[in-house]
A and B are shown apart, each in its own frame.
Chain A
Amino acid sequence: MKKIILTLAIAAISVSLYAQGTVVNKYFNQLADNDAFTKVSVSSKMFSLFTELEAGSEAEEEFLKAVSKLKGLKVIASDSIGNAASMYNQAVKDISAAGYEELMSVKDSEENMKFSIKESGGKIEELLMVVGGKKRFVLLSLYGEIDLKNISKIARSMNVGGLENLSKINEGN
């Protein structure tokens, strides 16, 4: 009898754990049939393919470095929905309810943006980014081993790359 109760308890816990899931999976399921949203998922297998590529530039090198430690990427996005702001608010609520820690939020006249993380043993294992504009909504999840420094370098090295090219143009003139 005890065994059966234990099994029941385990079954109940696993069902409730499943029901919680990650926030992104919840949104994937909710919006599965909604064509207004683009839903994309990239698997770790794909990432391991990328690592075989040779980096051409510094930005690419940073990119490949960041990707090599990732296990998955999921994006849900739409540019043409009316209730983007309320979706953003709901997503922010769902994210904090699911136990994510807020990393930073940026707000300007056009858009709200919030980064949240889930840590395990001092390492970031999931990074969630939510963007809510007037008509734009994006929910992006990166999971695996996430190095924020490394990721933030991607954009910077791209900018540097761009500037370098600009100076080359000037030289050519």
Chain B
Amino acid sequence: MESRIKELQEKYWAGETSVKEEKELKAYFQSNPSLTPEGQYFQSLNKMKSEPKVSFRHPKSTSWRSKWSVAAVITAGVIAAALVIQDARKQRDFVVEDPQEAYEITRKALLMVSSGLNEGKNYSQEIKNINKAEELIKEN
């Protein structure tokens, strides 16, 4: 075994080992820890494999996910803006531009609201009167 490992080590440094043979070497030093520089070297090779990969990103590049969210936000914004603009345009179609006409409309509208409110008040006044009359009847 020892001779085989020595042979493999020589082959390794000569750059002639196959992947399989390199694996054999690493496995050997994993199971038989040795303090020789070579032994530590092969052990550390094994360790490197199991360590999590460190990836580097260019600071300016963003991930795909955030790019999609930005796109979604922009789309939502555009749709909202389009709706608001369309709405404003529709509302503007009915704006009265002539002051005379606007005055008449406002006067009529307020008069309608006003008399409506008074009508309601008159009703409630009538109800109050009825209640009063009922109370009087009860008292007598």
Contact = CB atoms under 8 A, between A and B. Distances in A.
Interface of A: 1, 4-5, 7-8, 11-12, 14-15, 18, 21, 25, 28-29, 32, 39-43, 46-47, 49-50, 53, 63, 66-67, 73-75, 104-106, 113, 115, 127, 129, 131, 138, 140, 142, 148, 151-156, 158
B73 interface: yes
A62 to B, nearest CB: 9
Q: Is the interface of B mostly helix, strand, loop or mixed?
A: helix
Contacts of A47: 106
Given A115-B117, A156-B118, A42 B105 contact: yes
Given A18-B83, A43-B95, A32 B90 contact: yes
B10 to A, nearest CB: 53
A154 B114 contact: yes
A33 to B, nearest CB: 9
B109 A73 contact: yes
Given A8-B73, A154-B111, A39 B94 contact: yes
Interface in B110-140: 110-121, 123-124
B87 interface: yes
Nearest to A29: B90
Contacts of B79: 15
A46 B102 contact: yes
Interface stretch (B20-28, B41-49, B52-60, B64-72): B64-72
